[in-house]
Structure 1
Amino acid sequence: MFWIGDCFVNTIRTVSDTKRSFYTLHARPINSVYRRVVEELMVEMHLLSVNTDFRYDPLYALGITTAFDRFMLGYTPAEDKDSIFGAICRAVECDPQQVRSDADRARALTESTDGDAVSAWLRTERTFDGDDILNDLPGAIANNPRFKYSRLFAIGLYAFLTAADTALIEDEDRRRAALEQACEALSLPREKFEKDLDLYRSNLEKMEQARLAIEDALLSSRKQRERRQQERAAAESSGDTEASPVEEATDSSSEPSTS
């Protein structure tokens, strides 16, 4: 924001600016079932990036990569995923390599320890060797009354906790207890935190169901096409070389669209 003459000009990027930048950076079409996931992630990152209370940290980075990787599982063509992720990050003016690097560092750190150590770290009762940024993070969050909580931070913290103690994924009682301790240690809104994670897990299940439905439809379509080709080949070998118009029309439109 700046002044020109007697006018105050707002230079904060809009959601439209971010979307326009994304589709310039990644010009290939996005499969329809994933388009909403991509745009919601991008809009959420945009709104956080323009919030004056928001501060980037490794758990937020872990939340971004975890959400993207889980929701984009099975995306085709697979080689487009890196381009999409990079375009999302660059569209909100952050470095995709830095986001990946910070997320990987956080994940590797917690995978090398256990749930008790992570709980102690959250209470600032222990530190991890050689990572001052993460060591300072719990205190910086808990002592900041203006800390900008976000769903992506919640996903990152959840990924951090479950990497140290994988039993939390299946054991609801232990998971609830661990999340409650985390919220208390970091002064996070517990109800909001749990609601966001419940919705996240629910959406993952829905996305998996949609992905499996697409795979089943593609497999069924492929089998039907192969069967028609075999029938046509058998007819040609017996002297009946004309395929019916209905068969030709059905064959050309049998593959379900995913874009």
Structure 2
Amino acid sequence: MAAGIGVRSAMPAPRLVALPARAIVQVRAAAFKPATVAETKAKFLEAYKKPIPSIYNAVVQELLVQMHFIRYSIHYEYSEVMALGFVSVYDQIMESLPEEERGAIFAAYVGALNEDAAKFREDASKMEQQASALPGPDALTPDASGTDLQKALARCSERAASGVFAYNKFVAIGLFRLLELTGAKEPAALEKLVKAVGVKPEAVNKDLMLYKGILSKLSAAKELMKEFLIREKRKQAEREAEKAAKAEKEKAGAVPAAA
């Protein structure tokens, strides 16, 4: 019996074989059960029941669908750079709304995607503060042992190098925003940062052009809405003046003639 035990203890321990990246993705895909677009929309409407002004509603719904597909991509992983990009887009689009309403819609929006709205805000603010403190765009580099900002860029770079980085337009906008905060204005600075992170410059440029197009259309829509409201205010004032004049005339006609 002792001999049997001795033989057994001398046997080599089984080796742990590392799964290749493709196999890991296949395992993840097998257990991947993302929410549907309808479920995400329903969750948003449940969290924010008030009607959203028509000028914003179409854009909000479009962004929600886009963000849904990003959020439920098989390679999705939260990124501070993406959070900065999304917060930047949201704030520019919704800037005319009252702060309380803007915050409530944001919380409902991010919550509908099963993400933490407070974390989005906190990380975006942190990225902005650290980028603003840099001496220039050259200091905006991935560094796993650097600042929180540099570590965030390094995580993006590492995932891109491994082939599992889920690039999206909000990452592009986040990178662009970081450069803005360092005072960079040259296209070469954007290309340098994009390459350092491991993203294709062509994809970033395309997404930034689409982003600027959305802001341009929204700006034009806001101007039309502003003109419409001015006209409506003028018409309302005219109606009230006419009503007051009519009431005054009727009042004067009702006064009995003096004896």
Q: What TM-score bracket applies, with the shorter chain setting the length?
A: 0.7 to 0.9
1:127 paired with 2:146, answer yes
Partners in 1 of 2:153 and 2:68 — Cα distance?
27
Q: What are the equivalent positions in structure 2 for 1:37-186 lying under 5 Å apart? A: 37-75=59-97, 78-119=99-140, 121-122=141-142, 124=143, 127-128=146-147, 133-134=151-152, 136-137=154-155, 139-165=157-183, 168=185, 174=186, 176-186=187-197
Q: Paired residue for 1:247? A: none
Partners in 2 of 1:101 and 1:125 — Cα distance?
20
* 1:88 CA drift (Å): 1.0
Counterpart amino acid of residue 233 in structure 1? A
1:125–1:136 CA distance, 2 compared to 1 (3 A): closer
Partners in 1 of 2:155 and 2:108 — Cα distance?
28
Partners in 1 of 2:195 and 2:32 — Cα distance?
38
Count residues in correspondence: 224
Partners in 2 of 1:118 and 1:36 — Cα distance?
39
Measured on the aligned residues, the alpha-carbon RMSD in Å equals 2.6
Residue 216 of structure 2: which of 205, 222, 227 is its match? 205
% identical equivalent positions: 27
Q: Paired residue for 1:220? A: 231
Deviation digits for residues 209-259 of structure 1 (CA, Å, limit 9, x no counterpart): 1112111211111112112212332233233899xxxxxxxxxxxxxxxxx
Larger Cα Rg: Structure 1 or Structure 2?
2
Deviation digits for residues 156-185 of structure 1 (CA, Å, limit 9, x no counterpart): 1111110111x52xxxxx1x2122112221
- Consecutive unaligned residues of structure 2, counting only runs of 5 or more, are 1-29, 254-259
1:241–1:40 CA distance, 2 compared to 1 (3 A): farther
* 1:131 CA drift (Å): 5.9
Deviation digits for residues 47-97 of structure 1 (CA, Å, limit 9, x no counterpart): 12221212111101101111111111213x542211111111111101100
- Consecutive unaligned residues of structure 1, counting only runs of 5 or more, are 1-7, 169-173, 243-259
1:27 paired with 2:60, answer no
* 1:145 CA drift (Å): 2.1
1:237 paired with 2:255, answer no
1:73–1:131 CA distance, 2 compared to 1 (3 A): closer
Counterpart amino acid of residue 243 in structure 2? R
Partners in 2 of 1:20 and 1:135 — Cα distance?
34
Partners in 2 of 1:60 and 1:73 — Cα distance?
20
Partners in 1 of 2:39 and 2:197 — Cα distance?
34
SS at match of 2:104: helix
Q: Which runs of 4+ in 1 moved over 4 A?
A: none
Partners in 2 of 1:57 and 1:81 — Cα distance?
23
Q: Paired residue for 1:256? A: none
If the length of structure 1 is used for normalisation, what is the TM-score?
A: 0.78
Partners in 2 of 1:125 and 1:147 — Cα distance?
16
Partners in 1 of 2:167 and 2:252 — Cα distance?
67
